[in-house]
């Protein structure tokens, strides 16, 4: 897709996919137009299609991949579908945006990287927190060398996730959600940590399920050594607070 062309988008999965339209594409009309929607849930398809006046609606990804005018396939389905849908969209010659978690294993990400090398399109995972003002300022300060040598980082992620959250059938199950607090929630804070502190050299971690009756982890601790030599601790777990989410991170340097 050329830089000057308006990107024609299809949204696949109309849960958070609705927010991609409302908070993303719709605000950039000179760059993107959403022309097609795909969801296996007819009611959602109708609700989101009517709200944004998107006429082309389908329950099948194959239909979307056959639409010649669609440049960008934006995958917002439950986690277990991402891997196969990314590969299908790449082999159909589409650009691919995909929600986190991109895939569920290192072997899968290696195969996605290999498929992308052979494909016309690129894969763009959603890590929206990278684009926050504060994070961008912190990165600039670090990149300019003002922050000095990184000594130590701590990342604590405490998002409130009650039984109600796990009522959505695909959540909390290893086969459909692929992972728990590490893969689904703390992924954002951990992504920021690597953005600011660079690649990880080694990890020692423990994970357990202690809060909700689910089969993915909801508590974890990890001790990391970064390639820079900095030490980092991570402790994702559910919040005991009533606020929907809480999290904090700090980096010590000189």
Contacting positions for ligand NAD (CB under 6 A): 12-16, 38-41, 44, 61, 76-79, 81, 99-100, 126, 128, 168, 184
- Whose Cβ is closer to ligand NAD: residue 142's or residue 188's? 188
- Whose Cβ is closer to ligand NAD: residue 15's or residue 247's? 15
Closest residue to ligand NAD, Cβ-based? 15
Would strands 150-159 and 245-253 be described as parallel, antiparallel, or unpaired?
antiparallel
- Whose Cβ is closer to ligand NAD: residue 99's or residue 218's? 99
> Burial of 147 by CB count in 10 Å (0-12 exposed, 13-18 middle, 19+ buried)?
middle
- Whose Cβ is closer to ligand NAD: residue 21's or residue 38's? 38
Q: Cβ of 2: how many Cβ atoms within 10 Å?
A: 6
- Whose Cβ is closer to ligand NAD: residue 128's or residue 209's? 128
């Amino acid at each position: 897709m050329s830089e000057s062309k308006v990107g024609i988008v299809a949204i696949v999965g109309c849960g958070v996919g609705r927010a991609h339209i409302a908070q993303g594409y719709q605000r950039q009309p000179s760059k993107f137009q959403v022309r097609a929607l795909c969801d296996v849930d007819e009611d959602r398809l109708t609700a989101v299609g009517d709200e944004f006046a998107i006429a082309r609606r389908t329950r099948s990804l194959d239909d979307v991949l056959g639409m010649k005018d669609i440049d960008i396939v934006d995958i917002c389905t439950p986690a277990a579908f991402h891997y196969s849908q990314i590969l299908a969209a790449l082999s159909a010659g589409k650009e691919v945006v995909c929600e986190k978690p991109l895939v569920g294993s290192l072997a899968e990400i290696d195969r996605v990287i290999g498929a992308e090398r052979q494909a016309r399109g690129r894969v763009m995972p959603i890590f929206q927190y990278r684009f926050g003002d504060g994070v961008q300022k912190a990165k600039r300060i670090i990149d300019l060398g003002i922050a000095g040598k990184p000594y130590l980082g701590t990342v604590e992620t405490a998002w409130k996730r009650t039984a109600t959250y796990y009522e959505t059938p695909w959540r909390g199950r290893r086969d459909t959600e692929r992972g728990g607090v590490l893969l689904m929630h703390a992924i954002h804070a951990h992504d920021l940590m690597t953005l600011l502190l660079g690649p990880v050299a080694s990890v020692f971690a423990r994970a357990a399920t202690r809060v909700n009756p689910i089969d993915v982890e909801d508590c974890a601790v990890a001790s990391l050594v970064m390639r820079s030599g900095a030490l980092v601790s991570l402790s994702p777990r559910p919040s005991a607070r009533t606020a929907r989410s809480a999290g904090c991170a700090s980096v010590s340097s000189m």
